[in-house]
A and B are shown apart, each in its own frame.
Chain A
Amino acid sequence: SQQGEEDPQALSIQEGENATMNCSYKTSINNLQWYRQNSGRGLVHLILIRSNEREKHSGRLRVTLDTSKKSSSLLITASRAADTASYFCATAGSGNTPLVFGKGTRLSVIA
């Protein structure tokens, strides 16, 4: 069963604007991961945030995690046309359990 639910399902913005995507989940997690999928390609890991972390940065990406609300957000600053892709959150339980992916947010950045 899918645990992560991304919001919105689709987002269209102008180049240079910031894009924010949200993810909610239901059960306790060990970490939460964000992935990007370009059209016709596999998912690519972007960033991992552990359950004891609240915020993490990587380049133009900023991820927050609120375990009390069971939610995470991915912020892409100063978006570029090349950021156009689908973005997925995935939750990780403890030990050797597989990731559970959401259905993704389709981001379109218009030049």
Chain B
Amino acid sequence: DAGVIQSPRHEVTEMGQEVTLRCKPISGHNSLFWYRQTMMRGLELLIYFNNNVPIDDSGMPEDRFSAKMPNASFSTLKIQPSEPRDSAVYFCASSFLGGDNQPQHFGDGTRLSIL
């Protein structure tokens, strides 16, 4: 199993530009999570999907952030327009959520720098 795959690994762009982060979860997992990690705020859950449906997006900081999961094998997190304070490492994770909360498997993240 290839694990959770994120792309790109690094992204540097100027403020105001649109940024799209991509994630391929582990096959068979029914839940996908987007996190943001910074030194100041630690690991923050932005949004999670269950069976491709967004369940809780209360962690999405602003309307500039949006996430989609068009099918079980692909998700995107988009920031438009981007701002310097969006600079962080963004992680995608997947798991199988059911009666027992199973471990999450993380990708290696996208390091985003907004200039």
Q: Which chain B residues lie closer than 8 Å to A40 at the CB level?
A: 108
Q: Binding site of A, secondary structure by majority: helix, strand, loop or mixed?
A: loop
Q: Is the CB of B101 within 8 A of A31?
A: yes
**B93 beta carbon closer than 8 Å to chain A:** yes
| Interface magnitude class on chain B | 20 to 34
| Complex alpha-carbon distance, A29 and B43, angstroms | 19
Contact among B4, B42, B98 with A101 in the assembled complex (CB-CB below 8 Å): B42
Indicate if B78 sits at the interface (CB-CB under 8 A): no
A93-B43 CB under 8 A given contacts A98-B33, A98-B48, A98-B56: no
Q: Provide the B79-115 mask, 1 if CB < 8 A to any CB of A, else 0.
A: 0000000000001010001111101111111000000
Does A96 lie within 8 Å of B50, measured CB to CB? yes
Contacts A42-B4, A98-B56 given: A104-B42 contact, CB under 8 Å?
Answer: yes
What residues on B are CB-neighbors of A82 within 8 Å?
none
A43 contact set on B, CB distance < 8 A: 43, 91, 93, 104, 106
Number of residues of chain A lying within 8 A (CB) of chain B? 26
Residues in chain A near residue B77, CB distance under 8 A: none
Q: Are A95 and B4 in contact (CB under 8 A)?
A: no
Give chain A residues whose Cβ lies under 8 Å from the Cβ of B4. Answer: 42
Chain A residues near B31: list those with CB within 8 A: 96, 98
- Shortest CB-to-CB span from A65 to chain B, Å, is 15
User: Could you say which residues of chain A place their CB within 8 Å of the CB of B100?
Assistant: 30-31
A98-B45, A98-B56, A101-B42 are contacts. A42–B101 as well, Cβ < 8 Å? no
Residues of B within 8 A of A (CB): 4, 31, 33, 42-43, 45, 48, 50, 55-56, 91, 93, 97-101, 103-109
| 20 A-B residue pairs with CB within 8 Å | A30-B101, A31-B101, A40-B108, A42-B108, A43-B104, A43-B106, A45-B104, A45-B105, A48-B103, A93-B101, A94-B101, A95-B97, A96-B31, A96-B55, A96-B98, A98-B97, A100-B45, A101-B42, A101-B43, A103-B42
